[in-house]
Every structure is written in C-alpha cells, then in structure tokens.
Amino acid sequence: MKNKRITGMAVFIYFIALLLTLEAWGQLPATGISLNRSSTTMNRGAELQFSATLMPENANQDGIRWTVDNTGIATVNPVAGNPLQATVKAVGAGSTTLTVQTMEGHTATASIRVVVPVTGVSLANTDLELIRGESLSLSATIQPADATNKNLRWVSDDPDTVRLVEPGADSFGSWHTVTIEALEAGQARVRVETQDGNQSAGIDIDVIVLVEAVVFEDETVEMNSGDKIQPMFEILPADATNQDVWYESTEPSIATVDEDGILEAHKEGAARIILRSYQDRMIFDHMLVLVDGAEAPEDEEGMLVLTEETTGEDPAAEKGQNPGEAPPGENVPSDSVGLGARMPLIIGAVLLILLVGLVMMFRKNSFGEMKKQAMASSAYQEEPVPIAPLAVGPEEVKIPGRAVVWGLSGEFEGQGIELAENLLIIGRDATLSHVVYPSHREDISRKHVKIEFDAEKGNCWITDLSANGTYLADTEERLPHDQSVSLRSGSKFYLVEKSELFEVEF
C-alpha cells in the first residue's frame, strides 16, 4: 500500500514536471485562436496586416496556416518570423473570407470586401452653346469604368437659365445621362459630382436667342436733298443675342446709308434701304425713300435688287469675301434697269425654269418621298416648307450653275438635294428647314446649318447655326457660329458626328 502511494506520487510529479517543461519550451497545445478584426473593406491595390492571438497565449505556434477563399479578390502572406501575423492585399472587386487555423484544427475568420474607388469623372465638352428652348442630353464618364460606386448627382448654378429636366437628378443616384433645357438667355454652369471620391466636372453653357426678324418703324419716308435722318427699327425678339445689323441702298446716287444707320438724301428719285441681321443675311427688311417729291415706282420689287455699289458697311470684307461682293444668293444686275439690260437675265431665268421642270419631272418620286420624310419627322409642322429643295439622283450629271448637297452617311445617305433658289437649310424643324431630321434627333438643332450658292460667280458658303456644331470633314475643325465660310466643290462636312456626313458639289 505504501509502495502504491509512492508510485502515484511519482507519476503526478512526472506529469507536473512535463507540463512545466512543455510550457518552458512553448509546446503547449492551442485551445483556440482569434483575429484582431472580424470584417474590413479595402480599396483595390491596398494592403492590410492581420494579427492572430492563441489561447493560451504561450501555446504552440507551429503549423499555423493563413488562407483566403478567393485569391482573385485578395491574397494573404504570413509575416516572416511571426506566424501570428499576415499581410492581406486587395487585388479585385468583390467579397471573400480570410481564415487562420492552428495545428490542432482551431480556426478564426474575417470577412473582406474589396471596392474600386472613383478616381475621376469627365464630360465630353467643357463649354456649349444652346438656343433658347432647346434641350440636350449630357453624359458623364466615370474613371475607372469598373468603379464600385457610380452614383452621381447634377447641379445647375442657375436653374432659371438652364434647368435639369429629370426630377431628382440633383440627388445621388444612377444619373449617368441627364437632359438639360435652355430657358432664358444667359450663362449657367452645370456640374456633375461623384458620391465616392468627391470628384466633379463641369460644363459652361451659353444660352442664346436667335433673331427672328428686323423691322423698320416706317415703310416709307420722304426727304429733301441734303437731309440726314436715322431711321428707327426693331429687332425681334427684343432680347435676341446678336443685335448687330448692316445697311444697303439700292440707289446710292439717290440716297446712302452709313454703318451707323445715318441716311442721307442726295437727289430726286426713289431708293430702298435694306436692313439685314448679322446673324443671318436672309433676315431683312426694307424701307422706301422718296427724295424731293419723287413718286414710288410701280415695280417696287425690282428696287430690292442691289447694285454692285453699296453705301453702307460691307460685311463681306469682314467675312473673307471680296469688298463689294454681294452676299451669296443675291443677284447683282448692272446699273441699267431697262428691259434691254434685263433681257439676258430674263432668258437665263426662262432656261433655268425649264431645266428645273425637267429635273422635277424625272425625279418626282424621289422628291415626294423626301417631303414625306420631312413631314413625318416633325409632328408640329403646320404648313409646307416655303422653299423646297429638288431631290436629284446620283446618276445625273453635274450641271454648271447648279449646286447639290449629297448625303454620304446618316439619315440622308445616298440622297442628293439641289439648292432651290441657291439656299439650303438643314435642321430638325420643318418650319425652318428644307432638309428635316426626325424630331427625336435632339443633337441636331432646329435650324442647324445653312448652305448658300452664288450661281453667277460659282461661290458657295456654309454657315453653322447650331448648338452642337458643324465640322469640316477634312480637318475636323468646328465651324464658327453664325459666320459664313467659303466651300470648294467636293468639300465635305458633318453635323455633330461623322456619321452625318455630307458633300457639296457645284
């Protein structure tokens, strides 16, 4: 009995000594393990260190393993010399789980979410011009394209000038494209902001008001030789952006008008003073001037044809034309107004009418289809277009003194449109344009571009009237707004994008 007690005491002392020895050597088995965080969110490319704690703290550290479920989202690498620490690197967007495990099978986990932060946002343009009443879509591009949080909001610093059409676009959401509307003349800045990263971009918008008419206060004035007056006129609408005008006289020897609008009478006779808008030379009014008791001529319309001599400022010189050269589309007869002097013009007009009749006879079907397309594309057309272009076929030969605009791509691909009365306007409004785009094409302005042709001199001009631009195809240069630019036969131009490409031939 005494020996059994001694044996049991010895075994107990042996186990106590063994435990003390294992503890001294750090070889105690682990009873559990934990991590310093249970979840985290990381930006792609970032690194973060995790730490594990054993229970007991002095338990055996051998055999500890670190793993992640999806190495396409995050990777883990133990720290050299310290198996209880590891570095996690975020490599791709998504969620995964980090696990640490002891040799005895105890585990601890942490959830890892990797996001792609927004680094920037941009708009296609930094500035833009809109006509009052026009609407336009703006689209924002977020960088990088795979950013996690793509929420945006839009702000107009002057909603009375430019407003956001979509309600709620001023709060963060999936507003990658919004529609803006130009309400009043002025300037406004529209800004887009990201919810993530506090990034922003802006566009400056100028809202203009187009001139619709210029009107003299008086239709007729009577003057004596040597008198000077300044006729009053009105620009409609009154708040039109371009208030500049220029003057001409049909009979400079009878009455002249200077660049400031001062009218001076010289001798007995009748003359008409022409007032034109600088925005569009086809917007004009005229006033009859009777000097020293002269009576109004019976053929008043004949007086509207200008002579080669002008009495006012010659805007052609400012627009790159030769001084004294008539604006495109206007005929310039000699000083004689007799029947003999007009005979060549009358004969030419008769021949031109016959030629137009033949073209319309052979191309009647093509022209009819084009008019139907124009009428269908504008739900609010109330009356036919006043000047209708002639549709011609690609098989027809080039005729001197005739200009044709060919559609090379886009809505009017394969169609040829002759400049009736040497003028062609392309746009989205059937009441303002000859060639009409569908109403849903909001990138095309109601009155987008104007082409004019001087058949006698063989000159051709193009004028951009749009908000989104007309471009020369060869140089991709945007045409200046409201300024005539000379074209050569074969010149190509496009509206907004290269997909709407035209060529002019004359």
**With 0-12 CB in 10 A as exposed, 13-18 as middle and 19+ as buried, what is 358?**
exposed
Banded model confidence at residue 62, pLDDT cuts 50, 70, 90? confident
**Domain 217-279+287-327, CATH:** 2.60.40.1080
pLDDT, tens digit (0-9, with 9 covering 90-100), for 354-369: 665 655 554 444 434 4
The second-level CATH assignment, the architecture, of 32-115 is Sandwich (2.60)
**How many Cα atoms within 13 Å fall on the side-chain side of residue 448?**
23
Indicate the domain borders of the chain.
32-115, 120-208, 217-279+287-327, 343-505
Tabulate helix, strand, coil % of the chain (nearest 5): 15, 40, 45
What is the predicted pLDDT for the residue at 61? 87
DSSP-H helix ranges across 258-363: 315-318, 339-362
What DSSP element (H or E) covers 257? strand 255-257
Give the model's pLDDT for residue 391: 40
pLDDT band at 394 (very low <50, low <70, confident <90, very high): very low
Taking alpha carbons only, the member of 94, 152, 97, 166 closest to residue 123 is 152
Residue 20 has pLDDT above 80, yes or no: no
pLDDT at 457 over 60: yes
Which of 21-25, 90-94, 476-480, 485-489 comes out lowest in average pLDDT? 21-25
pLDDT at 381: 38
Q: How confident is the model at residue 384 (pLDDT cuts 50, 70, 90)?
A: very low
CA-CA distance, 503 to 405, in Å (whole number)? 6
- Sign of the alpha-carbon torsion through 362, 400, 450, 245: negative
At 192, the pLDDT band (50, 70, 90 cuts) reads: very high
Is the whole model's pTM more than 0.95, yes or no?
Answer: no
Task: Give the CATH class of 120-208.
Answer: mainly beta
How far is residue 158's CA from residue 315's CA, in Å, rounded to a whole number?
Answer: 36
The chain-wide mean pLDDT, for the chain, equals 81
> Which amino acid is present at 431?
T
Residue 19 has pLDDT above 60, yes or no: no
Among the ranges given (155-164, 223-232, 464-473), the one the predictor scored with the smallest mean pLDDT = 464-473
Q: Which two tokens stand for residue 164?
A: 């956001």
The answer to whether the CB of 135 falls within 8 A of the CB of 165 is yes
**Is 2.60.200.20 the CATH classification of the domain at 343-505?**
yes
- Residue 5 confidence class, pLDDT cut points 50, 70, 90: low
Amino acid 326: pLDDT: 40
pLDDT per position as a tens digit, 202-250: 999 999 999 999 999 999 999 999 999 999 999 999 999 999 999 999 9
- Going by C-beta distance under 8 Å and a sequence separation of 6 or more, which residues neighbour residue 484? 319, 320, 321, 328, 452, 461, 462, 463
Angle, CA 70 vertex, CA 29 and CA 118 arms, to 5°:
125
Name which of 330, 245, 337, 252 is nearest 289 in CA terms: 252
pLDDT above 80 for 130: yes
pLDDT value of residue 211: 93
Q: Is the pLDDT of residue 142 over 70?
A: yes
| pLDDT mean over 334-351 | 52
Residue 26 pLDDT exceeds 90: no
Q: Could you check whether 217-279+287-327 and 343-505 share the same CATH topology?
A: no
Integer angstrom CA distances of residue 227 from 199, 268, 269, 311, 323: 66, 12, 14, 16, 28
Task: Judge if the upstream peptide bond of residue 237 is cis by omega within 30 degrees of 0.
Answer: yes
